[in-house]
Amino acid sequence: MSSVRAKTAQGPAHKLALRVYYEDTDFSGRVYHASYLRFLERGRTEWLRARGVAQQDLARDGSIVFVVRRLTIDFVKPALMDDMLTIDTRLASLGAASFDFAQAILRDGATLAEALVSVVALKAGRPSRLPAELRARLVDGAAA
């Protein structure tokens, strides 16, 4: 595990299977660097869904939206067209209004990329404390 995730990964992982399509690649058939960001976003979204957190519902009722504040990524090996990937997502840390994800993109168990993603909760465009019920879902994985 690289330095991006080695010191931060905690808790059970959520694993998302994902295939690489032509649209994800550049002219060489390798995954374009920006596509990795979309893969990581899907992993974080499914991690939240597995805990009963629907981002659309939070935004619709004016409660909270999540935005990426910082992202550090290490590209280790290229992903290629038609690869089956696994997006491994774990909670790394939880603050009052923010949390960090430790994520990895794997092919057949081999790490292709690792990332540490800092997310902040906003309400009306300003940082907002996470409500207790939401914090419990993030920490315990308890879905209502």
Assess if residue 141 is contained within a domain: no
Q: Report the pLDDT averaged over residues 1-15.
A: 63
pTM assigned to the model: 0.88
CATH number of the domain within which 80 lies:
3.10.129.10
Planar angle of CA 30, 43, 89, nearest 5 degrees: 105
Residue 95 lies in a domain: yes
* 114 found inside a domain: yes
The span from the CA of 133 to the CA of 138, in Å, is: 9
Is residue 144 scored above 50 in pLDDT?
A: no
> Comparing 7 with 72, which gets the higher pLDDT?
72
pLDDT above 70: residue 18: yes
pLDDT at 86: 98
- The structural domain count of the chain equals 1
Question: pLDDT tens for residues 73-99?
Answer: 999 999 999 999 999 999 999 999 999
Residue 37, domain extent: 3-125
Catalytic residues: 26
